[in-house]
Amino acid sequence: MFEREWFEAGLFKLFYVLVFLAMLAPLFIIAGSSLAQSGYLQFPPSEVSLTWYFEFLNDDQWLTAVKNSAITASGTVILSTTLGVTAALGVQGADSRWTNILVPLALLPLLIPAVVIGVTLLMFLSRFNLQQSYPGIVLAHSLWATPLVFFIMQAVLSRFDWELRDAGQDLGAGPFRTFFEVVLPNIRHGIFASAIIAFIISLQEFIMALFLSGYQTRTVPVLAWVSLRQSLSPLISVVTTILILATLVLVVPAAVVLGLERLAKQL
């Protein structure tokens, strides 16, 4: 019996490792091909070099795309976090009948294809001459990021002891002071996790940005797609590797600050 349990546990661990390696294999291939010295995608590279990384750092077009991605992602974080946290607080104090209606409605933007959102916003924003602008891309990305922030914050607020807020108000604190001195310190980890998710969504989103960005506002995924139509340069692997590293740079500190268990609960 003991040998059978040991065998089954070992078999499960082996399967787990194989699945994990299969998921990570494309990332290793992309990172490896970015180190090729040749002018075309190659894995494994015949000669390892950082040539294309230096090419990326000296390319004004790519650096502009990085700046555009940072601007739109920062704007998405501000807008979606503000809306998502506010909506979660509002639903928390609303009547249960309204909650049963509002929560499914908040999910709707995630169910609409990105192509539909992109085309619709392009037609709408063109009336105000805001097509191919940062606000248009931020608005589009926020339509996807805000529902996720909302649901994360709902989970966070459901574990908050609202008697602490009531105690603060009983001691004479107003609504704003109670929020900033009592509620906010207890939910800041959830807000932090929500902001990271919103930033990553905006950083990686491509389809809506393709419709709404112009030559001066192209994000990194859009420029990567345009470049792929012209050539299969290792520069594309470099950009993809940098996006992966940027995601890790955001997630790893969050795991360190919040702890892996707490971060998993927040997400």
pLDDT, residue 77, reads 92
Q: Where do the structural domains in the chain lie, given as residue ranges?
A: 59-266
Amino acid symbol at 196: I
CATH topology of domain 59-266: MetI-like fold (1.10.3720)
Of 149, 167, 173, 163, residue with least CA distance to 89: 149
- What is this structure's pTM? 0.79
CB atoms within 10 A of CB 191: 19
Burial class for 163, CB neighbours closer than 10 Å (0-12, 13-18, 19+) = exposed
Reported as a pLDDT band with limits 50, 70 and 90, residue 266 is: very low
Distances (CA, A) of 107 to 84, 144, 152, 193, 244: 12, 9, 12, 19, 27
Spatial separation of the C-alpha atoms in residues 82 and 150, rounded to whole Å? 10
The 10s digit of each residue's pLDDT in 143-173 is 888 988 888 888 787 777 766 776 777 677 7
Q: Which tokens go with 248?
A: 């890790």
- With tokens 């990384």, the residue in question is 53
